[in-house]
Structure 1
């Protein structure tokens, strides 16, 4: 009798183990199949989303450029201070391109800012050089000058505590 019970119990264990193994295999196959198909659809959605984001970004850049241009055209500084001549290597691949420029920063009448600009001239020149060094020769065009000016203003203003500059003027500009 014990032998019959053991055989009956052994058959049940075998059936349960076979069922579990089959369930694991079907579950793993379903998981990997779903992951593969969901990944492909997700990639398609991502590429469509990235194209939409790119288009939106380009439109925003164009709007920002127009806003920068109109902003800079409206601002005429009451005073300005020269930052001396800068000769900077550009970020082109061949490393043989450079820009030579004379820059003035414009601000409203504020004697405190004038003294601060004079005192911090080396820091401001360093910020200007850092911005120019990150550019390629193709980026320094008349079309992109307003963006470059805005980038310089955004880089210089955090350095100042007694006021803000409101414009950047290029006296000389040579890209070689």
Structure 2
């Protein structure tokens, strides 16, 4: 009788050992499969994100170069001063400001000159609205052409008798 009990107990141990080995193999396979799948998925996602960032950077660079070349080519025949502006910048501490004397340039058009004179408060308000959203770090020479283009795009819809073609900063101080 003892032989039968030993055989039954031996078989149970063997089945338990085989079950544990099978469980370890299945777990290792699942882990290996998951890590390989997640790496390929993560790599594809990273590649897509990198490509999107590269495309965005190239587009911004091309736009900046186009803006810069456009503004360098345009020399306005006439201009109107908007007086000196003192503007709080959008920095976190709230203690930074921009002091600038700004002129808007346009081609000879006496009607536009009178319109700009009449709408000077509206034009100044548009300039202040754009510059108020800038931080001190944004007011650097490499960004000035983009800021000028933003100002032109903000001011031109206000005008009915012509369009400005350039913005000039004669004095600029950031503190």
Question: TM-score, with normalisation over the residues of structure 2?
Answer: 0.74
> Which structure: larger Rg?
2
Matching residue of 1:27: none
1:86 lines up with 2:96 in the alignment:
no
Measured against aligned partners, the alpha-carbon deviations of 1:32-71 in whole angstroms (never above 9, x if no partner) come to: xxxxxx9998776555433322211111111111111111
Matching residue of 1:141: 140
1:132 lines up with 2:136 in the alignment:
no
* Partner SS, residue 148 of structure 1: helix
How many aligned positions are there? Answer: 139
Matching residue of 1:59: 58
Structure 1: distance between partners of 2:39 and 2:154: 42
Q: Gaps spanning 5+ residues in structure 2: where?
A: 1-36
* Partner SS, residue 104 of structure 1: strand
Displacement over 6 Å in runs of 4+ = 38-44
Matching residue of 1:107: 106
Query: 1:41/1:156 Cα in 2 relative to 1: closer, same or farther (>3 Å)?
Result: farther
* Partner SS, residue 169 of structure 2: strand
Matching residue of 2:162: 163
RMSD: 1.9
